[in-house]
Amino acid sequence: MRKKSRFALKPVAPGQVWEVADSHLQIAEVGKTLVHYKRYKGKARGVPSSLAAKRDLEEYLKQNKGVLVQE
């Protein structure tokens, strides 16, 4: 029997900041299937952008219990 999670993740949107473990993940742009994001620790500047499939990023946030810090 598979357990359902108690909360649903909000869909990723530009400008969101997620807290995952000891780092933050900032969503820059959201396309039809891809997401541009920056992952950083602390208040780092000049962090390179990364690109991932929307489904993969949402799965990563779910598995690592990401918490939405800023919308």
Cα angle at 45 between 23 and 40, to 5 degrees?
Answer: 15
Q: Are 70 and 17 in contact (CB under 8 A)?
A: yes
pLDDT of 43 > 90? The answer is no
Residue 26 within any structural domain of the chain: yes
Residue 54 within any structural domain of the chain: yes
Work out how many domains the chain is built from and give that number. Answer: 1
Residue 6 within any structural domain of the chain: no
Residue 4 within any structural domain of the chain: no
| pTM exceeds 0.75 | yes
Residue 5 within any structural domain of the chain: no
- The mean of the pLDDT values for the chain is 87
CATH code of 64's domain = 3.30.420
Range of the domain at 37: 17-70
Average confidence (pLDDT) over 46-68: 92
Q: What is the pLDDT of residues 18-39, one digit of tens each?
A: 999 889 999 999 999 999 999 9
Residue 66 within any structural domain of the chain: yes
Report the pLDDT value the prediction gives residue 27, as an integer from 0 to 100.
Answer: 95
